[in-house]
Amino acid sequence: MTEVKPKKTVLKDVKIFKNLEDEIIKTNKCCACGACVAYCSSQGFDVIKMEGYTPQFISDANVDNCKECGLCYYICPQTDPLMDKLDNIYKIKDEMGYVEDVIAAKTTDEKIKEVGQDGGLVTTLLMYLFETNKIDAAIVSEYDENLKPLPKIIYNKEDLLKSSGTRYTISSNLLPLVDLYKVAEEIIQKQKQIYDINQLRMAFVGTPCQCRAVRKMQLLNISPTHVIKYVFGLFCMENFDYDKLFELVKAETGLEPKDIAKMNIKKNFFITSKVNETKEVDLHKFDPAVRNHCQECDEFTSRFADISFGGSGAVQQNSMLILRSEKGKKLITDAIIEGYVEKFVPKKSPIPEWKASKLNLLKRMTNNKVKK
């Protein structure tokens, strides 16, 4: 009879990166959030990397470096483990998630008005957090010269305007955390007077799937998400493959990425060129560019955020906000009191009815997405 080695029996039950590859990555369910690589690399394990939008072993020689800890599998927002616990913690009972309050609002800052996607509220609240010394850094997404999203940690409010606006292609916003422990002394010690990087206070902006990954990591209390103090979630109906999207944009409008100033989805796709000409294209024309993992996604309004932000349901140049935590509610209340944010006051119906109708609309949109 062969002897049973307890160590191997335990490891057999733990799902590891190879399982993540088989179940999520090779089946095109990976949303390219970067959480698996951010965690593993921040531990110095030297096993996996992000190649474009695909997490993979750094090389064949690195496969054996895997500690088989299984954490990459557990924290992946596309796997089942931990979801029951998360739903419990974040009081999620239905498709909308926990709603403390719903409001519409816009920025009072003229510069943010110009560059913000809807009410410019994400940028404004980040500005408020920087200016009141409640955060030292934020994870946002910028554009390169070809409109490719560049996920980035920024340390100064001066860098905020470059990140305003929506990129309708993947920005792997957890990935910059890979470099958390390599932040230059210049920034941390001289500018922020922080001598232990673990004391950094960061805000995170991301899509619903990315916020789910952050919350899974925080549930396990693992680095590097321990520095995230505010989670700002975006509404997200779908996201697009960069190459396919811009191939279709070129075919429909003749515009190359370098010619485009802004893109916006409001029922249809609106593409504004740098000479300020806006072209409207039927959104369905871009269906072939929708990322595969978005086809089965059941989140629209970022259920795991402190505050969720979208344009749907808000009047022009306003954002719709779902406040989900005490922290989120206090933040927006303070920003309104301090004059950073102007709250929308409905004139045609009493406020409770207005709120109920907006929540119904967002519920319907979420249900339509799930049915699709």
Ligand X SMILES: Cc1cc2nc3c(=O)[nH]c(=O)nc-3n(C[C@H](O)[C@H](O)[C@H](O)COP(=O)(O)OP(=O)(O)OC[C@H]3O[C@@H](n4cnc5c(N)ncnc54)[C@H](O)[C@@H]3O)c2cc1C
Binding site for ligand SF4 (CB under 6 A): 16-17, 20, 24-25, 30-36, 39-40, 45, 47-48, 55, 66-72, 76-78, 207-209, 213, 236, 238-239, 291, 293-294, 297, 299
Q: Is 302 in the site for ligand X (CB under 6 A)?
A: no
For the bound state, the minimum distance from the C-beta of residue 103 to ligand SF4, rounded and expressed in Å, comes to: 22
Beta-sheet strands, E only, within 165-304: 202-206, 228-234, 260-266, 268-273, 278-281
Q: Which does 149 bind (CB under 5 to 8 A by kind): ligand X, ligand SF4, none?
A: ligand X
In a 13 Å sphere around the CA of 31, the CA atoms on its Cβ side amount to 26
Parallel/antiparallel/unpaired status of strands 137-143 and 202-206:
parallel
Which uninterrupted H or E stretch holds 359?
helix 351-371
Q: Smaller CB distance to ligand X: residue 163 or 253?
A: 163
Q: What is the 3-state secondary structure (H, E, C) of 131-192?
A: HCCCCCEEEEEEECCCCCEEEEEECCHHHCHHHCCCCCECCCCCHHHHHHHHCCHHHHHHHC
Q: Is 225 in the site for ligand X (CB under 6 A)?
A: no
Q: Which does 116 bind (CB under 5 to 8 A by kind): ligand SF4, ligand X, none?
A: ligand X
* Structure tokens, 234: 């975006």
For the bound state, the minimum distance from the C-beta of residue 294 to ligand X, rounded and expressed in Å, comes to: 9
Closest residue to ligand X, judged by C-beta, is 310
Which uninterrupted H or E stretch holds 125?
helix 121-131
Instruction: Say whether 298 sits in a helix, a strand or coil.
Output: coil
Q: Smaller CB distance to ligand SF4: residue 35 or 314?
A: 35
Q: Taking a C-beta distance cutoff of 8 angstroms, is the pair 73, 16 a contact?
A: yes
For residue 342, the cross-strand partners are: 106
Q: Is 163 in the site for ligand X (CB under 6 A)?
A: yes
Task: Find the part of the chain contacting ligand X (CB under 6 A) among 83-91, 184-192, 306-314, 326-334.
Answer: 306-314
Q: Which does 176 bind (CB under 5 to 8 A by kind): ligand X, ligand SF4, none?
A: none
DSSP class of residue 333 equals: H
CB contact burial 346-355 (16+ within 10 A = b; e otherwise): eeeeeeeebb
Q: Smaller CB distance to ligand X: residue 73 or 325?
A: 325
Q: Which does 122 bind (CB under 5 to 8 A by kind): ligand SF4, ligand X, none?
A: ligand X
Q: Is 260 in the site for ligand X (CB under 6 A)?
A: no
Q: Is 168 in the site for ligand X (CB under 6 A)?
A: yes
Q: Which residues bind ligand X (CB under 6 A)?
A: 116-123, 140-141, 149, 163-168, 171, 173, 205-207, 234-237, 239, 265, 309-312, 319
